[in-house]
A = this chain, B = another copy of it.
Amino acid sequence: MIVVMKIGSPEAEIARISSELETWGLTPEKIVGKHKVVIGLVGDTADLDPLQMEEISPWIEQVLRVEQPFKRASREFRHGEASEVAIPTPNGTVWIGEHHPVAVIAGPCSVENEEMIVETARRVKAAGAHFLRGGAYKPRTSPYAFQGHGESALGLLAAAREATGLGIITEVMDAVDIEKIAEVADVLQVGARNMHNFSLLKKIGCQDKPVLLKRGMSATIEEWVMAAEYILAAGNPNVILCERGIRTFDREYARNTLDLSAIPVLRSLTHLPIAIDPSHGTGRAEYVPAMSMAALAAGADALMIEVHPNPAKALSDGPQSLTPDRFDRLMTELSPIGTTIGRWHRSAAVMV
């Protein structure tokens, strides 16, 4: 960290600040410039808040952070190597990470009934998906809207898993449900609205199932990686980051702005695998194919796409769901690009 002093700071005050910082276990080094004095701080500064440090003296103009606030999630933590998450499913282990083919996660927003979820699972498997997504517990803006079928939906997801061998990804909204969800799910999802729910992050970090962590709708990249750090620090190393659109000033056509530049940015900052959800990311089925193509070409490690057998009758998020037929066609469109960049499963429908 670097402490920038105001012009005309008294020598005695600079000495006092340096002494105080030494009591914090830091080694201050003074640089005297033409106009200003700057104090470089050597030592472990990851926990320090620059604004907090500015309070030490009214003569401090600014405190600048030089190191990133995250540790376990940082790319340096693994000496520049990507990590990968291995997920055992009935069909075999699926690996998600930079050096693996793109994993495809597909399914409806909510689990509605056994027929629809099993049928959807069959269709998306046939098209080449590796995981079934489906919500049992749904975060909804209105208390009067459908909130998911809850525990009973978990049984239906288990049936779909059994019928198809697909891995299951479903959202945890309340820490009290973790255990029963983990009995069925292969990956636990933390939704965008709970990315800053630190109690939940800590608890989900204390169990073993891999976690798909969605980006909060106005979370910075740094805050998002720090949320992953909560899970990693609690002991669970298997975190997949999922971009799902951020909130911006323009919400008229696309509901959110899918931030695909998160892919190269995260690649340089963290070793964690990166998923993209173009369905929530745009909010409209008609924009999903183009954004899926883009995400694949930009280097995503996984795609998460909403598919519903009858979007018009969906209990939630119908407008952003593809029909199974449209999803078939999308997989056909993605395949040559995925093959070109060397990240498509040779036979997507049959995993090892």
Inter-chain contact B312/A287, CB cutoff 8 Å:
no
B36, B143, B254, B267: the one contacting A66 at CB < 8 Å is B36
**CB of A307 within 8 A of chain B?**
no
Nearest chain B CB to A303 CB, angstrom units: 12
Inter-chain contact A318/B52, CB cutoff 8 Å:
yes
| Contact partners of A336 in chain B: CB under 8 A | 340
Report the contact-size class of chain A (Cβ under 8 Å from the partner): 35 or more
Chain B binder among A96-104, A111-119, A256-264, A324-332: A256-264
Q: How far is the CA of A229 from the CA of B141 in the complex (A)?
A: 10
Q: How far is the CA of A336 from the CA of B337 in the complex (A)?
A: 8
Chain B binder among A86-94, A127-135, A288-296: A288-296
Q: Which of A191-247 contact B (CB under 8 A)?
A: 193-194, 196-199, 202, 217-218, 220-223, 226, 229-230, 233-234, 246-247
| Contact partners of A234 in chain B: CB under 8 A | 143
1/0 per residue, CB under 8 A from B, across A33-44: the answer is: 111101011110
B2, B250, B265, B312: the one contacting A55 at CB < 8 Å is B312
| Contact partners of A289 in chain B: CB under 8 A | 264
Closest to A254 in B: B261
Nearest chain B CB to A172 CB, angstrom units: 10
A31-B29, A229-B142 are known contacts. Are A293 and B298 too (CB-CB below 8 A)?
yes
Q: Which of A28-79 contact B (CB under 8 A)?
A: 29, 31-36, 38, 40-43, 46-47, 49, 51-52, 54-57, 61-62, 64, 66-67, 69-71, 76
Inter-chain contact B287/A261, CB cutoff 8 Å:
yes
**CB of A167 within 8 A of chain B?**
no
**CB of A140 within 8 A of chain B?**
yes
Q: How far is the CA of A208 from the CA of B194 in the complex (A)?
A: 25
**CB of A178 within 8 A of chain B?**
no
| Contact partners of A54 in chain B: CB under 8 A | 319
B144, B145, B221: the one contacting A253 at CB < 8 Å is B221
| Contact partners of A316 in chain B: CB under 8 A | 49, 52
Inter-chain contact A291/B248, CB cutoff 8 Å:
no
A29-B31, A142-B229 are known contacts. Are A264 and B249 too (CB-CB below 8 A)?
no
Q: Which residues of A contact B (CB under 8 A)?
A: 2, 4, 7, 27, 29, 31-36, 38, 40-43, 46-47, 49, 51-52, 54-57, 61-62, 64, 66-67, 69-71, 76, 139-145, 147, 173-176, 193-194, 196-199, 202, 217-218, 220-223, 226, 229-230, 233-234, 246-254, 257-261, 263-265, 267-269, 281-284, 286-287, 289-291, 293-299, 311-314, 316-319, 336-337, 340-341
- Residue pairs across A and B with Cβ atoms less than 8 A apart, 12 shown, are A35-B67, A38-B66, A52-B314, A54-B319, A143-B226, A173-B197, A193-B198, A217-B218, A220-B250, A221-B250, A249-B251, A297-B337
